[in-house]
Amino acid sequence: MAETLDRIDRVNPAINAIVALRDRDTLLAEAATAPPGPLQGLPVAIKDLADTAGIVTTYGSPAFRDHVPKADSPMVARLRRAGAVIIGKTNTPEFGLGSHSYNPVYGVTRNPYDTARSAGGSSGGAGAALAARMVALADGSDMMGSLRNPAGWNNVLGFRPSYGLVAGGGPGDLFLAQLSTDGPMARSIRDLELLLSIQSEHDPRHPHSSGPYRPQPPGRRLRIGWLGDWGGAYAMEPGVLDLCETALRVFADLGHEVTPLAPPFPAEALWQAWTTLRSWTIAGNLEVLLRSAPDMVKPELRWEIERGLTFSAADIRRASTIRSDWFRRTAEMEVDVLALPSAQLFAFDADWHWPRQIAGTAMDSYHRWMEVVVPASLTGLPALSVPAGFGPSPMGLQLIGHRGQDAAILNLGREYEAATDWIVRVPAI
């Protein structure tokens, strides 16, 4: 604990990944008396979207600047039972919207490999804290690549589990809103699986709960389908595809079959279904905030809510039918894994809100530049981001599996990790 807090004191001012840091003496005392468990005494900072009892939780919003929850979220409670000591929070964009971690409460989180660049998001604080060696494990959440984008840009690992493996909590709909999930981030597959095994503790109050996660021995050689830029549908900054294709050669050298695939589904249909369901879900969750504190809602959130409120039942049905068609298509594909870049461009200027164009192609929304993560998110497939190397900043490669094949994807990541050395490239900060 002392070494962790010393490290945070030295490097966090330049990165701004850890926020709401608690008192040092209190944390040292808690570390000395932490309950037994696999994380006994381990300092952990929680993403500022998850409730933490007794610790300010802002969701990146000025409307919740002084909000201190009375209870932990179910995932945080699992970490505490495993012996973790919660030292504070990791920074996130306002309500997790946008893959760049800035907000009016804590400011901008910067990339440890180049502090002029973004750390990604919405788990940008988690990714940057891992890369800068301020924490050993980090929780994240992933709706639209919020684990995968910051993992790629910070040269660490991020895993979006199959929907239901890490059970959420609280009342509300359990069927329609399945776009987001919690998951682990780490610097090794071993650590990733350790955290996942705790996060995925079975929750009898959540009928979709399918945990706990259990590792499985490696199986047969896998067939990996490389989708690249989805037949030109996804604008890509030069160099992104080259790095990912070099990374894929590692899998081929390991004996797996890597095959370029033609687009298996219309990209625009996926995008239309995704943006409809996303805006509708966000509106359902946050309309009350727009009504009660409109001056505290950033433009992108206002746009999502107002857009979501315009949809009819027929609109939602059409979007969910597309989602279902895509789910059926993935289930029948003759490959075991789909591969895509973790982002469509390298980490951009930390002072931007979002990139307005990629390689000359204009982005028509604040999140269009992250379209590449939608195929996994739309149907709740397991997706692992592994480091793919360095261009102007780090880049990641998504490995997407069939629903429930989490262990197979993590085994594939373990093989790749053993054959590469990207993780040992520590930022100079």
Angle, in degrees to the nearest 10, between helices 267-292 and 313-332: 140
Closest residue by Cα to residue 205 from 25, 78, 106: 78
List 337's β-bridge partners, or say none.
224, 401
d(CA 301, CA 94): 8
Among candidate residues 61, 101, 123, 146, the one labeled active-site is 146
C-alpha distances out from residue 378 to 9, 162, 167, Å: 39, 11, 17
DSSP secondary structure string for all residues of 170-230: SSS-SSS--S-EEEEEESSHHHHHHHHHHHT---TT-TT-----------S--EEEE-TTT
Q: Are 373 and 144 in contact (CB under 8 A)?
A: yes
Cβ-proximal residues to 109 (8 Å cutoff; 6+ apart), any chain: 15, 16, 17, 91, 101, 102, 118, 119, 121, 124, 125, 128
Residue 312 annotated in active site: no
- 146 among known catalytic residues: yes
**Phi and psi torsions of 153, nearest 5°:** -75, -15
- Catalytic residue from among 61, 99, 122, 162: 122
Question: 3-state DSSP call for residue 30?
Answer: helix
Q: For this structure, is 279 an active site residue?
A: no
Residues 56/19, Cβ–Cβ less than 8 Å: no
Angle at 113 between CA 107 and CA 114, to 5 degrees: 60
Residue 74 makes CB contacts below 8 A (sequence gap 6+) with 167, 168, 169, 203, 206
Spatial contact of 14 and 116, defined as CB atoms under 8 Å apart? no
28 close to 1: Cβ distance less than 8 angstroms: yes
**Catalytic (active-site) positions:** 47, 122, 146
